Amino acid sequence: MPAELQWGGRFSGSPDAALLAFGSSLEEDLLLGSFDVAGSRAHVKALLGGGIIDAARAKALDDALQTVAAEVADGRFAAYARSSGAEDGHGAIDARVRELAPGSGADLHTGRSRNDQVATALTLYVRDRAERARDLCVAIARDALARAEDALQRDILLPATTHMQPAQPVLLAFWLSAVAENFTRAARRAGRVAADARESSPLGSGACSGSTLPLDRQAAATFLEFAAPSRNALDAIGDRDLALDLLHAVARATLAASRVSGELVVWATPAFSFVRLGDEASTGSSLMPQKRNPDPFEFIRGTAALIDGELLGALSSLGGLPLSYHKDLQATKAATIRGTERGLAALAAFRLAVGYVEWNAAAMTARAGDGYTVATDIADALVARGVPARTAHSLVGATVSAAERAGRPLAQSDLDELAKAAQLDSPLAAPLDALTSVRAKQTTGSTSPGAVAEAIAQLRQVLDQQFGKVAS
């Protein structure tokens, strides 16, 4: 039996090398290295607190683990782990500690299973990455609000669309504020995951039923900044809810980035020309000299789809599993790590790329009224004069149809004809241009300049209260 394996006493032969390699989680575990080391340091606290090892042996173990932590941080440990013959990162850390502390290294795994070890390391990973996702989303939201304030001062307009067809004029600041709202929700989701990952420490649960050794689980939990040890060992070692919650939160945040990216890709086309991407966020064609391709935003869309697949895979890998630990959970871990790392990279790239977007204010504002986007305002004006909504809708629809056939915009003469058709006793007043339409909105949460300014101020307050006043 290979000496580098953490098990084998009851076996008379060695595992098939190909099958051992197939079941190895070493590469995924390397990303968990710092968290696994932290969990091992906490376990030393539990051993010391329970009187299982003395202070001298505890110090030797902790010193060795701090050396491993430094090697993880500077990349040396990855090379060691790959050459060690260990089947996973946990075994590689154990082997390295035994090298560094030959007199006490064999004590490290006392009273511990890889089951509670990986559950703890994964929970610490979830906490760290959820906080990163939260901070990225907060930063994106604040960036959007800063650009919204600038756009609001400039009265930049654009046509909002439904079904990708012209709908109603809105302020660009209104669109940017909507982006900020979306990422604020994403930040809250990630923040909840991070908070949940501080509640309960799996460490000390053992293989599935706890330990006959008097481990000081509270000391370990305190060291790792958990509120308390887990209440049920069987649940703790097989629970992957936090991993799924993290992957879901990252998937949702990346989805938000994907939707904005999709709109920016369309806006960057010559048919729209609403935005221009700086050279820093564009690529060219190997054949066509004129091309400016919005590659970062296309990559973000593609990445969002891949993360959805990882989330579905992680969910499916748990389907039908009994309680306790099963090797299937290794697939859950791998999917969580792959999806999370891709998602965080996509969010960072999104924030960077959006910073290189230049608004074509003239083109946006000029097109805001195209497609008869003020028609709803005219129907509302009729309703305000006592015309039933269905009647107003029909009258204005017919007027738009006539103007469209004539190839002209709506004009004051159309309002006069509508007043006659509705048998009004005085002229009809209604917005005929996009800016007047925007300024005419009266409801909270609307695209009127006042409502947008208030929404921006309120959202800034929410971000400051919930996530602190210093931008991430």
Distance from C-alpha of 173 to C-alpha of 449, rounded to nearest angstrom:
9
Which residue type, as a one-letter code, is found at position 57? R
Distance from C-alpha of 144 to C-alpha of 454, rounded to nearest angstrom:
15
Helix (H, G, I), strand (E, B) or coil at 393: helix
Catalytic-residue membership of 104: no
In the set 14, 209, 285, 401, the catalytic residue is 285
CA-based radius of gyration for the chain:
30
Distance from C-alpha of 341 to C-alpha of 358, rounded to nearest angstrom:
29
Q: Which two tokens stand for residue 7?
A: 């098990």
Q: Which of 104, 39, 101, 34 is nearest to 64 (CA)?
A: 101
CB-based contact 191:183 (threshold 8 Å): no
Residue partners of 406: CB distance under 8 A and separation at least 6: none
Q: How many CB atoms lie within 10 A of CB 264?
A: 22
* Segment holding 115, helix H or strand E: helix 114-153
Bridge pairing between strands 157-162 and 165-171: antiparallel
Catalytic-residue membership of 163: yes
Distance from C-alpha of 408 to C-alpha of 400, rounded to nearest angstrom:
10
In the set 83, 163, 286, 426, the catalytic residue is 163
Residue with tokens 């609403």: 274
Just list the catalytic residues.
Answer: 163, 285
